[in-house]
């Protein structure tokens, strides 16, 4: 080999060595020096954290009837990096999405080629998603994906809406049970790290860490939808008849404090919360306070009986309807002379109860008001509950001792009124109102259960019995609530006709909050019921609790008795059968 040939060979060798050295250096640069950077880039392009959405728990009534459900829907998402022809894609899906194809094409183009998550439309039904998938398959187009989502639906619409509440766009409860039981209902989303190929398809063998979703627990309420339906139907009828500013009705099981039905008017449809005014969303049973009026007389009367200051037969002189105290005159609706304590309650004498309160004294009266649960939250699992307003005796005016016993100068929630009446019905026990009975997971296993809770013994069984006896006579021909009577049953209850408070001070003239709270059957109560109509429109001189709220109570109680299959304790007077209608009944001979 001569020198030239050798030199050429060496040159070529060096050249090759140099070339491969350059490749090697680049390879070392890619694989070692910049390893992290390129790994991250690859991961960014192909690795994704896939969210596994948890199902929100279902809310059911006492008989497992669904009150709040989830409907699966899809969110249509485009990945611009997988789209070759935005115009063709837009044309293929526009019809199903009910959108202008130009808008879709603009959205896809403007967001840029690299954008991987362009939301085109949210909350489309499953069927529509299927149609879009089919259209894309036929047109051989890709780049459109679907994220799973759900919408909360309330199958019964307005029924029980203020109690159930609704969720916001992030599926968080904003009101009612949806809010108070949020921690149980929401569940926990899971996740999974996945790797995809260039077409966006998951490569299952390279699946990374996975954490399954935990579905939300189901919440069962104490509310019975059958009773709720009765209560709401009658409340609607009452609203149509009397056109009150607002109305509230609550039904409770006295022995346990379970709320069987609860409704307020005006109301709203939780499926369209955006259409509702704040006034309609209010659950007035717990967020509103009213002066209770004469229904409050049970507090003073039971207190004087419990303290053994009087007996039901002790007489009180009712000043013939004109009682001057602390420079002001207290009047009765009808002038009355001497009444027994029993009759004071039966005939709802303001003067009689004021005199009993004077005998009891401020401190004791305040003590019993508090013992009945007024002026403090009941602790029910409903959002926004207020405690009402009961001032301590040192803030009372001289007049208050005669006004508070008849339900003035105090403000209470409707729930507090029915809870107090329930304590009379059940023998003197104040029960904590409960609306949630149990929480179960998706397999039906109990996560939490709630049992009746006795707050305190307010009055003795004997005192409660004496008050019940007087309350039974309220719903009689001599009492103030004859129209609250229910054929076949003894009803115990108390009317309330409170003058409406003027926010500017004093009271409105001729405007009232009418109410009736009672329980039935009086001797073995299955439910306590409050009906409260705020500022009803009735005939002149007929705006009383007994004439406005009483009949509503009667209608609800009668239907509820039928629904609960209560056995009548008294003979039911024959009812007229409309002409041309026949009802088939078994022979009367088998009647017990």
Partner 1 sequence: MTHNRRNITHSIKVASIFKVVVSTCILSIAGLSYVYLKNQLQKYGEIQRRLEYELTEIRTANEAVRAQITQLSSRGILEKKLAKNSLGLLPIASDQIVRLNQRHDGVGDELRVVSNRGFNQ
Residues annotated as part of the active site: 294
Angle at 303 between CA 403 and CA 292, to 5 degrees: 40
Stretch of 197-205, 260-268, 352-360, 524-532 contacting partner 1, by CB under 8 A: 197-205
Considering the complex, state which of residue 72 and residue 337 has its C-beta at the smaller distance from partner 1.
72
Least distance in Å: CB of 150 to partner 1?
8
For CA atoms 421, 422, 423, 424, the dihedral sign is positive
Least distance in Å: CB of 105 to partner 1?
29
562 part of the interface to partner 1, by CB under 8 A:
yes
Give φ, ψ of 51 to 5 degrees.
-85, 130
Residue 289 and residue 278: Cα distance in Å, rounded? Answer: 16
174 part of the interface to partner 1, by CB under 8 A:
no
Least distance in Å: CB of 527 to partner 1?
17
Least distance in Å: CB of 514 to partner 1?
26
208 part of the interface to partner 1, by CB under 8 A:
no
Contacts of 209 (CB under 8 A, 6+ apart): 191, 192, 193
Instruction: List the one residue from 121, 157, 236, 307 that touches partner 1 (CB under 8 A).
Output: 157
- Tally of CB atoms within 10 A around 451: 8
Considering the complex, state which of residue 156 and residue 301 has its C-beta at the smaller distance from partner 1.
156
List, in sequence order, every beta strand (DSSP E) within 254-380. Answer: 258-265, 315-317, 322-325, 328-331, 338-340
- Does residue 242 sit in helix, strand or coil? helix
For CA atoms 543, 547, 549, 555, the dihedral sign is negative
Least distance in Å: CB of 210 to partner 1?
12
Considering the complex, state which of residue 430 and residue 561 has its C-beta at the smaller distance from partner 1.
561
Respond yes or no on whether the N-terminal peptide bond of residue 530 is cis (omega within 30° of 0): no
Least distance in Å: CB of 159 to partner 1?
7
586 part of the interface to partner 1, by CB under 8 A:
yes
Closest by alpha carbon to 235, among 306, 285, 197?
A: 285
Binding track over 68-97 against partner 1, x by CB under 8 A? -xxxx-------------------------
443 part of the interface to partner 1, by CB under 8 A:
no
- Tally of CB atoms within 10 A around 269: 16
589 part of the interface to partner 1, by CB under 8 A:
yes
Least distance in Å: CB of 201 to partner 1?
8
Residue 497 and residue 487: Cα distance in Å, rounded? Answer: 24
Instruction: List the one residue from 147, 202, 241, 362 that touches partner 1 (CB under 8 A).
Output: 202
Residue 11 and residue 13: Cα distance in Å, rounded? Answer: 5
189 part of the interface to partner 1, by CB under 8 A:
no
148 part of the interface to partner 1, by CB under 8 A:
yes
568 part of the interface to partner 1, by CB under 8 A:
yes
- Tally of CB atoms within 10 A around 274: 6
Residue 263 and residue 230: Cα distance in Å, rounded? Answer: 11
Instruction: List the one residue from 16, 25, 153, 329 that touches partner 1 (CB under 8 A).
Output: 153
List, in sequence order, every beta strand (DSSP E) within 444-506. Answer: 446-449, 454-457, 492-501
Stretch of 63-71, 237-245, 364-372, 408-416 contacting partner 1, by CB under 8 A: 63-71
Considering the complex, state which of residue 71 and residue 389 has its C-beta at the smaller distance from partner 1.
71
The HSE-up count of residue 325 (CA atoms within 13 Å, CB side) is: 21
Binding track over 337-376 against partner 1, x by CB under 8 A? ----------------------------------------
591 part of the interface to partner 1, by CB under 8 A:
yes
**Region of residue 563 (phi > 0: left; psi between -120 and 50: alpha; otherwise: beta):** alpha
Least distance in Å: CB of 359 to partner 1?
43
Residue 415 and residue 378: Cα distance in Å, rounded? Answer: 8
Considering the complex, state which of residue 138 and residue 577 has its C-beta at the smaller distance from partner 1.
577
196 part of the interface to partner 1, by CB under 8 A:
no
Three-class SS of 309-321: CCCCCCEEECHHH
- Does residue 108 sit in helix, strand or coil? helix
Instruction: List the one residue from 2, 4, 199, 590 that touches partner 1 (CB under 8 A).
Output: 590
Residue 131 and residue 124: Cα distance in Å, rounded? Answer: 11
156 part of the interface to partner 1, by CB under 8 A:
yes
**By CB under 8 A, what part of segment 220-259 binds partner 1?**
225, 229
Q: Are 561 and 520 in contact (CB under 8 A)?
A: yes
Instruction: List the one residue from 97, 132, 159, 381 that touches partner 1 (CB under 8 A).
Output: 159
Instruction: List the one residue from 66, 88, 122, 309 that touches partner 1 (CB under 8 A).
Output: 66
Least distance in Å: CB of 139 to partner 1?
21
Given the DSSP bridges, would you call strands 454-457 and 338-340 parallel, antiparallel or unpaired?
Answer: unpaired
Q: Which residues bind partner 1 (CB under 8 A)?
A: 55, 66, 69-72, 125-126, 148, 150, 153, 155-157, 159, 201-205, 225, 229, 487-488, 558, 562, 567-568, 572-575, 577, 581, 583, 585-592
């Amino acid at each position: 080999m001569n020198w030239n040939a050798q030199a050429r060979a060496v040159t070529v060798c060096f050249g090759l060595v140099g070339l491969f050295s350059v490749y090697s250096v680049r390879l070392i640069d890619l694989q070692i020096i910049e390893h992290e950077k390129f790994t991250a880039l690859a991961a960014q392009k192909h690795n994704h954290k896939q969210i596994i959405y948890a199902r929100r728990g279902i809310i059911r009534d006492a008989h497992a009837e669904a009150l709040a459900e989830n409907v699966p829907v899809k969110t249509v998402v485009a990945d611009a990096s997988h789209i070759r022809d935005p115009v063709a894609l837009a044309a293929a899906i526009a019809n199903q999405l009910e959108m202008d194809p130009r808008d879709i094409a603009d959205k896809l183009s403007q967001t840029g080629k690299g954008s991987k998550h362009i939301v085109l439309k949210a909350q489309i039904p499953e069927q529509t998603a299927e149609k879009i998938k089919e259209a894309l398959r036929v047109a051989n187009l890709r780049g459109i994906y679907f994220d799973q989502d759900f919408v909360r639906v309330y199958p019964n619409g307005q029924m029980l809406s203020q109690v159930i509440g609704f969720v916001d766009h992030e599926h968080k409860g904003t009101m009612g049970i949806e809010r108070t039981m949020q921690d149980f209902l929401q569940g926990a989303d899971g996740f999974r790290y996945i790797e995809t190929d260039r077409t966006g398809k998951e490569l299952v063998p390279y699946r990374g860490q996975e954490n399954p979703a935990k579905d939300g627990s189901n919440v069962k309420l104490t509310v019975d939808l059958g009773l709720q339906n009765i209560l709401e139907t009658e409340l609607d009828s009452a609203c149509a008849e009397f056109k009150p500013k607002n109305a509230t009705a609550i039904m409770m099981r006295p022995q346990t404090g379970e709320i069987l039905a609860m409704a307020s008017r005006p109301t709203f449809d939780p499926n369209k919360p955006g259409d509702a005014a704040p006034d309609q969303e209010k659950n007035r049973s717990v967020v509103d306070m009213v002066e209770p009026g004469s229904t409050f007389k049970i507090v003073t009367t039971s207190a004087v009986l419990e303290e053994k200051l009087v007996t039901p037969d002790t007489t009180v002189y009712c000043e013939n309807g004109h009682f001057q105290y602390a420079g002001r005159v207290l009047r009765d609706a009808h002038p009355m002379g001497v009444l027994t304590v029993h009759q004071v309650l039966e005939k709802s004498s303001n003067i009689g109860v004021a005199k009993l309160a004077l005998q009891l004294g401020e401190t004791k009266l305040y003590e019993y008001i508090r013992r009945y649960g007024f002026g403090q939250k009941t602790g029910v699992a409903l959002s926004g509950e207020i405690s009402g307003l009961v001032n301590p005796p040192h803030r009372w005016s001289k007049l208050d001792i005669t006004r508070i016993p008849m339900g003035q100068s105090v403000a209470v929630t409707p729930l507090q009124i029915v809870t107090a009446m329930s304590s009379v019905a059940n023998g003197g026990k104040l029960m904590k109102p409960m609306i949630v009975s149990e929480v179960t997971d998706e397999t039906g296993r109990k996560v939490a259960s709630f049992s009746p809770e006795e707050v305190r013994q307010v009055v003795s069984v004997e005192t409660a019995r004496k008050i019940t006896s007087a309350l039974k006579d309220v719903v009689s021909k001599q009492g103030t609530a004859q129209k609250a009577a229910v054929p076949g049953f003894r009803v115990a209850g108390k009317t309330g006709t409170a003058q409406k408070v003027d926010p500017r001070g004093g009271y409105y003239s001729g405007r009232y909050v009418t109410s009736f709270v009672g329980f039935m059957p009086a001797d073995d109560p299955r439910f306590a019921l409050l009906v409260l109509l705020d500022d009803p429109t009735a005939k002149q001189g007929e705006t009383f609790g007994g004439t406005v709220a009483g009949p509503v109570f009667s209608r609800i109680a009668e239907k509820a008795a039928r629904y609960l299959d209560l056995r009548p304790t008294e003979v039911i007077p024959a009812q007229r059968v409309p002409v041309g209608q026949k009802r088939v009944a078994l022979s009367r001979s088998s009647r017990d």
